[in-house]
Structure 1
């Protein structure tokens, strides 16, 4: 690397650390600053990445064709898509779906802070990705104390190559992260770089009493929430959420549901009613509302249907169960501030009634945001709670 390239890299690294500090509201801790300086982010990105396009999709950015843009991407405080469609790149990028990424550096360092690490601690990382996070952990704790697991063989190969090229040698495993890695257990910390809809029991079992599990959480309703659980000696774990975050869902937790393939059938005869509750108050509302719905509604998800080619219907909100057994549709004719909306419901559950009850619960409890919610794991399952674990319900 030339002196000019070295100086550009150093300037970019300093600028990125400043951006991270602004996001955190304080300087990056000295131990993590040293790790970042020893682990240049551009060395962990593949030669081809995918960036947002003007039409809202993705477009290729190749290091050889656009070196300046690629390098700027490496040192921007943004997530970078590093794989699409599980490695099977489509000819038409309108069909591109992100399947692996490098997280935004600010969230990487926020999670490292939340881990509250000390020398000698052993860490299991779920979701190796590019290997960047494992490298930072290895710099701080030593290779022998870091185990990282990734389900995709091609991603594992890239991460191993990146780590080796940068002088790191943690234990890198190709496998299903939801199972953890018992061969190196117990761990002081387990950290996931993908979101989950339920915390795998194995992660709790492989963590020492007093240890912590840090995981991005999501539900079928909403993607967002960073959960830090403290593991207890009786096999339970409990903790609260911090500020919003969004990660790719763990592959083994994915749902492939389509309204008109899996849910709504031609022979369904829904019941008709009306509601005074606006569909936008439900599904186009602030994070506080959506986060509460994710914890109260459990297995419900929604989708908007604009211009559904129905008389007097401009927009339709669909809500359905993840097993496809029950659904509801709420219609709007486009009238501003309408007093009533038509509701159609089908199946053994009246899911729109459940949605309205959850919204009323949220209003009655003072419109709680993510910081008032928590989750407790027991051998029997997981329970969400508001303000205190005693005020809980099963998820």
Structure 2
């Protein structure tokens, strides 16, 4: 610590740690409480942050001009946006999109618990952010056992500056986290603070036998779930999910795909059919449903189109492949008791048929939630499974 905490800061810290303990369902472990007290979150936030209002639009909050609002955000169990639009502020404030943030403390400490750390372990963190997580790790394990890598040079410098100002000197690397950092491998743990759609195999190969990789999971259908993999003797990593987490996607896995620019074209002539499957049963449904469908459907994503200016259509659900080669549209006419929906499909794959099959599979297997799913990663690809790795299918 560089300076003593004020009375207000001490009170805010106690309140925040109590909130985190309630989220965890038990008192924070003493070693993590000590780390938190030694590395107050507010010391790792920049003077300008962005907060969302009732309309979910991000607005800047400057410490000098709004000290009370800034202080409250720093000590609230919510994520705080620390960078927008990869560091380039847009001309129109409504175009502000988060590109780096300080995660909610509750999920930070949940992930630290899931790492199951022990003295002497070496950790690689993917995504330095503000440096807060690396500081907690350094306090617990020692600077020499912590490496953090960040793709954005400005964010990497912010993390390094924050860490040094608070007395920590772990290895801070500016580089592409999807490649890991072989110079200091092997590691006992690799942890990502950004969500990923695929586990880079470099993370597996740079982890010791019996070591673990922990990352927030995302697929095109839904974002959510923490995946913890254990590395085996044959270079294969396998593990299960803990439900509910949402992080910004790793920059190298972003997909700039727009429905009416890249997928649906004026010259497309779709085939018409009908379906009894309610589109709301698969899209914007419960998290458990969408999580399961995402693992069965793999490379499909969806988007709602309300009032699409089509005669007799109140709402349309679009489903498409991530390569834009196939799409489907399901129409609702606005009737309260619709039994059949009009379906339009184009491309080499019949996507709504795939959605129907995935939904029926989910029903046939007793509506499994995230805790019944797992993933196996090899140098050749990803395999999803239900209940046991023997019940597997390739993840498209």
Shorter chain as denominator, the TM-score bin is over 0.9
- Deviation at residue 243 of structure 1 after TM alignment: 2.1
Distance across 1 between alignment mates of 2:209 and 2:233 = 5
- Give the aligned length: 394
SS in 2 for 1:384: strand
The aligned residue for residue 175 of structure 1 is 175
Superposition pairs of residues 1-395 of structure 1, within 5 angstroms: 6-395=6-395
Runs of 4+ in 1 over 3 A off after TM superposition: none
- Deviation at residue 4 of structure 1 after TM alignment: 11
Distance across 1 between alignment mates of 2:246 and 2:5 = 33
Q: Normalising by structure 1, what TM-score? A: 0.98
Q: Normalising by structure 2, what TM-score? A: 0.98
Q: Which stretch of the first structure deviates more once superposed, 261-270 or 82-91?
A: 82-91
CA deviations on 1:349-389 (whole Å, 9 max, x unpaired) are 00010000000000000000000000011121110000000
Distance across 2 between alignment mates of 1:64 and 1:244 = 35
- Deviation at residue 284 of structure 1 after TM alignment: 1.9
- Deviation at residue 91 of structure 1 after TM alignment: 2.4
Describe the shift of the 1:67–1:116 C-alpha distance in structure 2 as closer, same or farther (beyond 3 A): same
CA deviations on 1:195-249 (whole Å, 9 max, x unpaired) are 1101000000000000000011110111011000000111001000012111100
Distance across 2 between alignment mates of 1:147 and 1:336 = 56
| Two-structure CA RMSD over aligned residues (Å) | 1.2
CA deviations on 1:254-307 (whole Å, 9 max, x unpaired) are 011100000000000000001011111110210111001110001000000001
- Deviation at residue 92 of structure 1 after TM alignment: 1.4
CA deviations on 1:157-207 (whole Å, 9 max, x unpaired) are 111110000000000000000000000000000000001101000000000
- Deviation at residue 337 of structure 1 after TM alignment: 2.6
